[in-house]
Chains A and B, each alone.
Chain A
Amino acid sequence: MATLDRDMRQPTRDIWTELEPHLADVEKPARYIGLELGAQTPEHAPHKVSWLLTYPDTYEVGLPNQGLQILYEILNERDDAVAERSYAPWTDLEAVLRRERIPLFSVDTHRAAGEFDVLAFNLSAELTFTNLLNCVDLAGIPVRARDRHGDHPLVAAGGHCTYNPEPIADFLDFVVLGDGEEAVGDITEVLREWKAESRRTPESRHNVLRELSHVEGVYVPSMYEVDYDGPVLKAVRPRYPDVPAQVEKRTIADLGQWPYPRNQLVPLTEVVHDRLNVEVFRGCTRGCRFCQAGMITRPVRERPADQVRTMVQEGLRRTGYDEVALTSLSTADFSGIEGVVKSIVDGSSDDPTSCGNVSVSLPSLRVDAFTVGIAAQIQKARRTGLTFAPEAGTWRMRQIINKLIREEDLYGAVDSAFSQGWRRVKLYFLTGLPSETDADTLGIVDLARNCVELGKKHNRNVQVKASVGGFVPKPFTPFQWFGQNTVAELQRKVGLLRDAARGSRQLQLTWHDPKATLVEGLMSRGDRRLGPVIESVWRQGGTFQEWSEHFDLALWEKAMAEAGLEPDWYVHRHRTEDEVLPWDHISAGLHKDFLWQDWQDALAEVGLPDCRWTPCYDCGACTGYGIEHVVASPVPPAGGSQGTGQDLMRGTGVPVALTTKRPVGVGTP
């Protein structure tokens, strides 16, 4: 029953003809038509491995995803691969698809998802997990990997959430950890032979997955056995001697060799981040202890400044965009930032077609006056709002999280912004951080109120918006051992903040729903026992959980109870040093004992400087992979703050004990 003869397959189904009569009845039908500038209509062939790159959220959220766009181009450049794209259909179209028995489809050539060899998902947010199941089901593929037959496509995932792939291990045939640029080529080569087989059997599926487990950066969940001792995880170990006991993430050494996307997609309808995006570096060594992205993407690899300029110039000309974002985890740290920004601004005003109207955005602003200076240089016109992320309200708390922003840095930045014509400042904060006291929590409102006062000196109509999110401890961070705050505790803290923020017209407070934070925490550090929970929530209609109008905590609580699992045990419990973590068989290059030491330093309120410009403390990322930070400048950027290029002992009342850390030993690989 399991195998279909390849030659007996139905000819390619024309989904567009089936879909078209229904598009007038759904919201924003332009999400389903493709036709973007840069879209490709690749020719499928028996010798080409076909990938359907799928973002498990709406088109508006998924289209700008740079990871998928990069892989889309790299795969389509190969002779042995084709790639198309798909996005989660909104609920109205999903109802049509199910009623009319139309499968999930690619937007490029409107081909049925089930006709591809690989369904590859980007997972950037835990709350999209149920959407992944929904997309797999809409594709006509069994949601559980073990129920799939020889002829079903392989279901894969990559992206930051897959660093703990265990909660979704039941649903994935394979996982790609880290940078995908090289990995997708290696995987394609393995899949080529499997594709060429005229009959795919359960055995050939098993064999190709086993083969994939040998590819660096690829994790095949079904090749691993999980041992428990009661509620306690004992080990995740390979079933076969040729399967690696620990899977290392994939890291590209030189971003300059991968100037992608070359043909960024320009959508026909409105999407988020609707602008040209040029990645200026990957990785971050600021060392913020809550930040998973900064930890798992090390080392820092800068793109050569000349290549950035070329990608901006050619990208603007090709796309017709009038805005470019220089993306990274902290763009003001890019060695060539001033020169690059100046050349974009000057270049665009020299170019007769651009009318000098190109605006540049730096999505991750550092908190200091220098950064505001750069912002002023590039935003000559639209000075509406600037965003900073001090993350915590007190210096004590910021030392604990290693976000070494002094209050004077923040006030300098905000004062500088208001004095130069900006009227709105947005501040991002986390609450529920390790050892946070009510005084630390309330420090958020103090900071924000002080910013309002600074603004009032310049303009009566300033607005300061403080956005507060509940902290979710993430794998491969020093806080991975920390027990997350309960919903009740987060709600209490939000209440404190609301009371404290009352009465100010200029101060606006917004917060993330603590209930959603709970489910994120569950997924973030969960294990394979959460698979049935995710499946149950999906079966009860719990899709689009990251959309507040669809999020439903009751579904999750019910599913956890049915599975006999305790949210408390997964989310709110502090872990001990000797505990086996569900992601211990995965490696992001960081030594576990480095992370533990950094966790201890956090509790001791000791900061750790940025290793780009200070001696290496051997976190493991560079030494383990035999690569170095690729940073053009040997010194910190002008005005560098947060523990580099600045004497944090200087200045009034800065209670910092910024020690240069001793190396913490080589540790276990």
Chain B
Amino acid sequence: MSGPTAPRKLRVRFTKTGKVRFTSHRDVARIWERALRRAGLPVAYSEGFSPRPRLSFGLALSTGHESLGEYLDVNLREDAPGGDVACELFALQVNPALPVGLEVQAVEPLAAGADSLQQAVTSSTWHFELSGLSDDALAAAIARTMATDEIVVTRERKGQEVTEDIRPCILALQVLPPGTGCGVAEAELATQPRSLRPAELVDALDPALHADRVVRMHQWTLVGGARQEVIPLPPAATLAPHAQARAS
């Protein structure tokens, strides 16, 4: 994959865990811009009066949620080495420039013309630590939710009240066996055509529930009708220490 014809785009998978989860999506974008400059990576810049590094971020993660699967597309300069070499170097160079909790896990070359992250990702898997309900009551609430055909919620959008059925966005929802993940419950929530936020799911489950911790575990795409992780990690990597304990 290396050589003059290799793509100059990279897709990066990274974590956001621990204290740094309290930064906003915009903060993370700024942190990345500076980290790439510090690392001296040959990032392409936009033209015009205010040149900016050409980065494309995936779906926003709410401030305060953690993630073991965030994504970013980076455009490198035309004269930069591309392909696998660039991928290997990327993580080595950029990780020391990132704050504790943001860490590159995997980098892949991205074919020219590939779908953007916003277009490609169809759903995310989330883990929740919840309080406010007993284990039994939580299991009952989850069972009730999955047995329903329609969950109508009202929310405000651009100053107007909108009524929507969010049930189609809940692709999967279950109690997690103890010690198997980052919490007590797991959900797969659609991001297309409408994105369901984890907080909306928790509200819909039971008003008494409070999410103490929310972790994005995976982001999925559809490839030929089959669900596939955007960049899968080797099995060992999914049990990285920060998946077990918070980095804070």
Contact = CB atoms under 8 A, between A and B. Distances in A.
B37 interface: yes
A269 B51 contact: no
B116 interface: no
Interface stretch (B17-25, B157-165, B223-231, B236-244): B17-25
B50 interface: yes
Interface string A4-43: 0000000000001000110110001110111111000000
Interface stretch (B1-9, B26-34, B169-177): B26-34
A320 B212 contact: no
Nearest to A33: B19
A28 B23 CA distance: 8
B166 to A, nearest CB: 22
A364 interface: no
B19 A34 contact: yes
Interface stretch (B38-46, B81-89, B103-111, B138-146): B38-46
Interface SS of A by simple majority: loop
B38 A318 contact: yes
Nearest to B63: A29
A269 B64 contact: no
Contacts of A30: 22-24, 27, 63
A88 interface: no
A536 to B, nearest CB: 35
B209 interface: no
A23 B22 contact: yes
Nearest to A268: B23
Contact of B38 (A24, A35, A36, A317): A317
B38 A319 contact: yes
Given A30-B22, A268-B20, A321 B27 contact: no
Interface string B171-188: 000000000000000000
Contacts of B100: 35
B201 interface: no
A320 B42 contact: no
The interface size bin for chain A is: 20 to 34
Nearest to B32: A320
A320 B24 contact: no
A322 B37 CA distance: 9
A382 B34 contact: no
A354 B51 CA distance: 11
B45 A24 contact: no
Interface string A353-372: 11101000000000000000
A641 B34 CA distance: 39
A353 to B, nearest CB: 4
A16 B101 CA distance: 16
A381 interface: yes
A320 B33 CA distance: 8
Contact of A16 (B24, B212, B248): B248
A269 B49 contact: no
A320 B31 CA distance: 9
Given A320-B37, A353-B37, A382-B50, A269 B24 contact: yes
Residue of A20, A32, A317, A319 with most partner-chain B CB within 10 A: A20
Contacts, number: 76
A46 interface: no
A623 B51 CA distance: 50
B57 to A, nearest CB: 16
A381 B50 contact: yes
Contacts of A29: 22, 63-64
A86 to B, nearest CB: 16
A352 interface: yes
B117 interface: no
Contact of A270 (B22, B27, B41, B49): B27
Count chain B CB atoms within 10 A of each CB in A16, A21, A320, A383 and give the residue with the most. A320
B99 interface: yes
B212 A268 contact: no
B91 interface: no
Contacts of A317: 38
B34 A266 contact: yes
Contacts of A23: 22, 64
A641 B33 CA distance: 40
A106 to B, nearest CB: 13
Nearest to A380: B49
Contact of B99 (A32, A35, A318): A35
Contact of A268 (B33, B38, B99): B99
B97 interface: yes
A355 B53 CA distance: 10
A28 B63 CA distance: 9
A45 B206 CA distance: 49
A525 to B, nearest CB: 41
B40 A353 contact: yes
A383 B48 CA distance: 12
B35 interface: yes
Contact of B51 (A24, A266, A355): A355
A28 B27 CA distance: 10
Nearest to B27: A269
A320 B23 contact: no
B51 A357 contact: yes
Interface in A259-299: 266, 268-270
Given A32-B22, A320-B38, A352-B42, A268 B31 contact: yes
B45 to A, nearest CB: 5
A317 B35 CA distance: 10
Given A29-B63, A35-B20, A270 B212 contact: no
Contacts of A355: 45, 51
Given A269-B24, A353-B37, 4 more contacts: A35-B19, A37-B99, A317-B38, A320-B33
6 contacts: A32-B22, A35-B99, A268-B23, A270-B30, A357-B45, A381-B49
